[in-house]
Structure 1
């Protein structure tokens, strides 16, 4: 069994492009389909997400919401699934509903900021991230700094959260890829440091560091290098569910649409 998701799981085409998903139900999922309670639907959604079957998980969450429309948990699970399948407007609505129902402020604001970012509403993304800062420990703080900095680069503005709050001794936990990119490009100001790290890194960190570097290349006007890196990120798709990969995919699709 995989650490992050099942060994047999849905691919990005079935979840991001609406392609056919041929992943069969596990024995656990087959049993859960017989439980038509609120908790049963949420447990089913969780099991489906472990197979990366986010579109099927959305359906299970929607059934739960029909049973208890004032309970926040099903909205939160569905919002996350909408975000991971890049159905951004639907994700925004569900995260807003979570906020109305009292879901954790940091959780909601951070992911709403990601929604704004993916819709190219970078000012709103920055505002949402700035509102979260007082709620962050170091581990979430470095993720907030990362996306705030990328938003600033998109707008050709100063990365104020980094300038005010970044520390070299931040305890970043599992957010090491976010921390490395920020350290390499903003503290050390070393493109070579970031590029070298990409030579020997697995797909999850590659998508995060690579996407941050892509945005920085674009900020510097290095468009040819940026496009080459974007293509490489899209190829390295084992962790297509990472926010770095999803942002790269969204950029790629947007570019193709503009070219048509």
Structure 2
């Protein structure tokens, strides 16, 4: 039996860019370059390692987002994924994690899966609850925040590291897992992988394909939304202490005035 692995990935604004909100209080995705979420690269990497350890396994990457989200899919395909699914619909704009989980669950049900792999969180929303929501919607077990993972037969096993101890966990397939940034460095796409990605299939779906009512997603159906935005104050000029023999005293006085000491 072919092991079908699905990886949920997200196209996010570059964290090194000037990230901001748009006029409708959603994340501005046009005014800054986007890329595959770095934490999702670990999910792709672990999916590929599982596939390599299970002969004949197939890796599909899924994303929900605008046209440019194809860039995230191409990155995952160039790393070695076999095919991709892109849910792209204007009515998806403004969807929160609740709506996103519903869209992804519908897409996963349509494409089929044995194992769903996610990163530990997105680098823009950083909520980290999507894997649990997916498992609930799909009515399958979850094993989250794994730093080590493997699939043997019809069982996925992994290690979850905590502050005081490490846990060995397992779940019967089909299942949802998430992996942390300690699970292993993601591979760099090779030139061969980049060229091969151009020929790999990318299936585009919209809400009608998934039988999802537009009123239940986007800003209209969002359970959570940003009500108000206040720009962070510009950084002010710091205090320069000129040491003319009393620099230490000046520094101590400054720290005391700021109630640091």
TM-score by length of 2: 0.25
Structure number, greater radius of gyration: 2
Kindly indicate which of the two structures has a greater share of residues assigned to strand. Answer: 2
Higher RCO (Cα < 8 Å, 6 or more apart)? 2
